[in-house]
Structure 1
Amino acid sequence: MRNLNIITRRADRKYCRIFGKVRYLNNEVDARILNLSITGAAVEIRTPLYAASGSRVQILAEDLGTLHGIIRWSHNGRLGIQFDPNSNAQAQVASYFRFFHKDVKPVLTR
């Protein structure tokens, strides 16, 4: 069997519904965090954000604060964002899971 050099997730993701914004340069769009881990998040955006994979962005949410990250993928209005390991994102997400998170089941399936 061949190794396809596929990068896999390093942390378990949990479903959530956190509303906020994604900021790229001077553009800011409404967003909803669909799932979250200490290393990254999947985010659904309401309007197009013209940022390529590898672009640095910020997630702004009341429950989480400001999280800095890098876009790893985008598809059909969704973004995969890996948090910047040099930021305080891991501590902020761990605090969210400890004090605020309630388990959420997906409403619609694809």
Structure 2
Amino acid sequence: MHNLNIITRKAERKPCRLFGKVRYLTKEVDARILNMSISGVAVEVRAPLHAASGSRVQILADDLGVLHGIIRWTHNGRVGIQFDPNSNARAQVASYFRFFHKEVKPVLAR
């Protein structure tokens, strides 16, 4: 297995099925939030997002509003984004989990 030097989140991740966009500078790409924790998200982008680790981005989703974050890693169309600690993201995510989140069940049974 290859070490991708990915810094992992220590907060509990919850699988999600949310659609939205990731905005970097003036470009927006469609995205699907794969999982989310109180400290960040993993998203799958539908088009290339030409942003390096450390770049500031915004995540836009109807159930979450606008979340500000920093790219921590990218790999094969997936992007790990840590929420900006100076933003309101933690409160927005906590509210989402409290009021809107529904447990995601696997689509295929084994």
Same fold (TM over 0.5): yes
The equivalent residue for 1:11 is: 11
**Partner Cα separation in structure 1 for residue 15 and residue 48 of structure 2:** 23
**Partner Cα separation in structure 1 for residue 74 and residue 106 of structure 2:** 20
The equivalent residue for 1:3 is: none
Paired amino acid for 2:64: L
The equivalent residue for 1:55 is: 55
The equivalent residue for 1:20 is: 20
TM-score normalised to the size of structure 1? Answer: 0.89
The equivalent residue for 1:82 is: 82
SS of 2:57 mapped into structure 1: strand
The equivalent residue for 2:72 is: 72
Shift of the alpha carbon at 1:7?
4.4
The equivalent residue for 2:99 is: 99
Report the count of equivalent residues: 103
| Segments of 4+ moved more than 2 angstroms | 105-108
Residues 54 and 72 of structure 2 are in contact (CA less than 8 Å); yes or no, is this contact kept in structure 1? yes
Structure 2: gaps spanning 5 or more residues: 1-5
Is 1:33 aligned to 2:62, yes or no?
no
Structure 1: gaps spanning 5 or more residues: 1-5
TM-score normalised to the size of structure 2? Answer: 0.89
SS of 1:28 mapped into structure 2: strand
**Partner Cα separation in structure 1 for residue 106 and residue 76 of structure 2:** 18
Aligned residues: percent identity? 83
**Partner Cα separation in structure 2 for residue 27 and residue 81 of structure 1:** 16
